[in-house]
Structures are given as structure tokens and as C-alpha cells.
Copies of this chain bind each other. A is one copy, B any other.
């Protein structure tokens, strides 16, 4: 399908929710609610024979009763009712149907798989394109489409195609808290008609998308998919999770999206050749997505680290090296600068900068980060924000002040030096006693301020280091191929 035609499908002027419901726990209610809540500006037509209105919007007994045209249908009815609905869609010249409806081939049952094939043939004859079945459909906040109650309303640069709906909405939610926003997220389930290649080609073209994220269990057209991936990855970073990597996972993908997961070693080799960036899970995908959104391209692995105490500094060096970064020694020029400034421990400070030894010597973590940012021996910087903070300061006021100063300092550092800067700020993982207390609140505020400053943050040093290394590998690959 052409990208322009798919773009038209993604910009409907009228949407009907077939199986719309007044039951607040149903999906027919949810999808109707979302259209209203996310500000969809076109016509909304709830379809339900038993209600005159749903959520204050006039409802219709059937698609046929709708007076105007219907561009896009969200189907929340049982599988067995889909053929009748599709016949009505054909009469109304509907362009596309999102089948939230599930229980087709993924059940492993012959009759369900046959029904799925019959539906495909019926749609093809009528010229209707299908998204799904067995999927959440489209989250496109800019156009007022959503598949979740608590997803961000502001758009952003990440486009996602996903063979998991729950995973996709979970990812949108979790990613938002890292500062990631989305152009469009398409959960496409069993990929009966439109498949991964259609969506990938679309995101390649889509001017609203600059970073692409993929969760896929099994491509419907593997050869075409990898060829396309190779081409797209040279233009935009493509982060890809393969679901169903082992024996059990493969067994499960069959019952999830009826995908044939295939051999993992072959998959890995193919992905490596395309320049796409593999991720093991949604947490890593968030790390990589925010890294590609916010970090400028960089060309070397030499990292400067600062902010942790003694042990955490040692471990940060270990974990950066294990992730493939080079924790270079503090350059002689910086030692000289420290000496010139009269810092008594100029010969003791190293990289990583141990925050617990420098207090009282007229130099702080931000000074050290700035010196490293301005020094050509460093390609990127990692700052550890809340390591050790609670230990070294006894008082709430002091810690509040220090945290605010730190994040503000990071903001200025980033603005003034343009050196890639990653922040590590741990999770609270609090219980009910700690919930709402000042230190957790402070960390939350720091995260919000980091997002506002455009500085990516990660819950642990190893995740920051691993993301940085994969970003570097991507730009190195791209550079070599496009020179």
C-alpha cells in the first residue's frame, strides 16, 4: 500500500465505533471515550442497536443508519459478527477497519483461522484495508486517536509499530515518564492485511517521525521486511524488539498473534546486517528511544563520569567498560587546570570523579563535568545524580538545594558545551510509608526538570552506558555506509 494511502487512512474525518457501549469497562466504551477525550475533530459515530446515545453522542443501530460517510471503523464486536459488519462497511465505502476484535487464528483453532481468511477475502473484494485483527489499533494523539486512558496528549518524534497492544500502551505510558512522545503508535496484532512492511515504509516516509520503534513477533514477509529495514535504518534509527526468541516464547507467539517466530540466530544475524538497533525488552527500548531523541550523534566511546561516591564510582567505571565505553584517565590538561585553581587534591581526583572526596576543595561535580565537556579527550559524559546524595547531607534543605543546583547545572552544561550528556537518576521503588515523602518528590521533580532541559536519564549506570554504546554503534554504521 502506498504511504500516501496509509496516511489518508490515519487521518480519518469520520470514525464509527461498532460495538460502542455504555458499559464503562468495555472497549466499545473506551474507544468512544478516547475519540472525545483526545480531541478528535471529525465525526464520531457510536454504533449500538440498544442505545440512543453513548457518552452524550448520538448512537446508531447500524453502520447503514449513519447519515454521512464513514472513513474509519473501530470494530469491538465478537469475531463471528465481523462478516456482517464488513458487508455494511462495503456499502458505506469505509476505507479502513481497525479490528480490535480478536479470537481468530491466534486461538490455534481451525474454524477461527478459516473465519479470519474469509474476512480477509471479503475486505479485499470490497477494497477495505484492515488493521489487526487482535490489536489496539492506532494511537495518534495529534489527530485525536488513542487506545488508552492515560496516554500523553502531546505528540513527539517516535513512531512505533507493535505486534503487542498491551505492550504498546504500557510502553507509551512508561516512555512518557522518560520524556518520550510519539508521532503514531500502530498496534497491528495478527497483521492479516496491512503488515509490518506497510507500517515501516510509512514511518520511513512520515515527516512526523524521526525515530522508529518496532515490537515484532514474526514478520509476514521476512525478505521484504529485512530489505526495507536495511534501507530505512540508514535514514532513521530503528529500534527493534523481537518477541518469541526462545522455545517457549515461540510457542507463545503462536497463541498471541499467530506468528511463526523462526530461528533467533538467523534473526539476529539479519538484524545486525541492517543497522537496526536490537533491544531485549521495553525498558531497553525506552532507553534507546530517549537516547536517539535527545543525544546528538557522537563518534567515540571515551566517557567522563562524575557524581557517585567511592564504591558507586568504581562500579560505574566497571559497568561502562563492560558496556563497551572507554573510561579514559583524567587528562593531564585537566589535572593542570585543577592545580592552577589551587585544588589541593589535583593529583588524586580521577575519572570517574568520586564525589565523596572533592568536597571542601573548591571544585564540585559540575566543575569537573564542565572541564571534561570542554576537553577533547571525552566524547560523552555520564552524570550520576542521586547516588550518595542522601548519605552525605543530613538535612532536607541542603539536599533540595543540591539537587536543584545539579539539574540546573546539567541544563546549562548541555546548552553551553553541546557534549552528549546522560544522567543517571535511580528509581525510588518506594513502599507506602515512603510514598509522597520529600526525597521521592525531589527525585520526581529532578526527572521533570531533566525532561524540560532535554537531558536523557536512565535508572542505572549500566543501562545508560549500554544505550550510549548502541547509539555510537548506530552512527558509526550509518557514517560508514553513507559516506
Is B309's CB under 8 angstroms from A166's CB?
yes
Q: Chain B: which residue is nearest A388 at the CB level?
A: B166
Known: A321-B246, A350-B252, A432-B444. A312 touches B167 (CB 8 A): yes
Q: Would you give the shortest CB distance from A237 to chain B, in whole angstroms?
A: 21
Kindly list chain B residues whose C-beta atoms are within 8 Å of the C-beta of A181.
none
User: C-beta contact mask, A90-125 vs B, less than 8 Å → 1, else 0?
Assistant: 000000000000100001110000000000000000
Q: Is A245 an interface residue (CB 8 A)?
A: yes
Is A274 part of the binding interface, using a Cβ–Cβ cutoff of 8 Å? no
Interface segment, A58-66, A170-178, A194-202, A469-477?
A: A170-178
Q: Which residues of B contact A173 (CB under 8 A)?
A: 390
- If the complex has contacts A256-B313, A350-B251, are A245 and B427 also in contact, measured as CB distance less than 8 A? no
Known: A395-B25, A460-B281. A310 touches B257 (CB 8 A): yes
Interface residues of A in 149-177 (CB under 8 A from B): 149-150, 162-170, 173-174, 177
A314→B177 contact, CB < 8 A = no
Q: Are A428 and B427 in contact (CB under 8 A)?
A: yes
Using a CB-CB cutoff of 8 Å, which residues 277-315 of chain A contact chain B?
A: 280-283, 308-315
Asked if B427 and A432 sit within 8 Å, CB to CB, the answer is no
- A35 CB to nearest chain B CB (Å): 14
A223 within 8 A of B: no
Contact A177 B434 (CB under 8 A): yes
Q: How far is the CB of A116 from chain B (nearest CB, A)?
A: 15
- A378 lies within 8 A of chain B by Cβ: no
Bound form: Cα–Cα A415–B41 in Å: 54
Find out whether the CB atom of A462 lies under 8 angstroms from the CB atom of B281: yes
Chain B residues whose CB sits within 8 angstroms of the CB of A320 once the complex forms: 248
Q: Which interface residue of A167, A327, A393 has the most chain B CB atoms within 10 A?
A: A167
> In which size bucket is the chain A interface?
35 or more
- Please tell me which one of the listed residues B148, B178, B253, B448 contacts residue A314 in the complex, with CB atoms under 8 A apart: B253
Q: In the complex, what residues of B have CB within 8 A of residue A109's CB?
A: 347-348
Q: Flag the segment in A45-53, A226-234, A351-359 that touches B.
A: A351-359
Nearest-Cβ distance from residue A169 to partner chain B, whole angstroms = 5
Q: How far is the CB of A168 from chain B (nearest CB, A)?
A: 7
**Any chain B CB within 8 A of the CB of A219?**
no
Contacting residues, chain B, for A315 (C-beta < 8 A): 167, 241, 243, 249, 281-282
Q: Contacts of A354 on B, CB cut-off 8 Å?
A: 252, 255-256
Q: Which residues of chain B come closer than 8 Å to A165, judged between CB atoms?
A: 309-311, 356, 391
- A:319-375 near B, CB below 8 Å: 319-322, 326-329, 345, 347-348, 350-352, 354, 356-357
CB–CB B436/A283 < 8 A = no
Contact B394 A29 (CB under 8 A): yes
Cross-chain contact B162 with A246 (CB below 8 angstroms) = no
Query: A2: CB under 8 A from chain B?
Result: no
Given A166-B309, A256-B314: A431 and B459 within 8 A (CB)? no
Q: With the chains together, A317 CA to B445 CA distance in Å?
A: 35
Pick the residue among B166, B167, B309, B318 that contacts A246 (CB under 8 A). Answer: B318
Interchain CB contact under 8 A, B311 and A388: no
26 A-B pairs with CB atoms under 8 Å apart are A24-B395, A107-B348, A108-B348, A164-B312, A164-B314, A165-B310, A165-B391, A166-B308, A166-B310, A166-B311, A167-B312, A170-B387, A243-B318, A245-B322, A248-B320, A248-B327, A248-B352, A249-B314, A249-B317, A255-B350, A256-B310, A256-B313, A281-B462, A427-B428, A434-B444, A436-B441
What are the 8 closest A-B residue pairs judged by CB atoms, nearest first? Answer: A164-B311, A166-B309, A167-B311, A248-B327, A246-B321, A427-B427, A431-B448, A435-B444
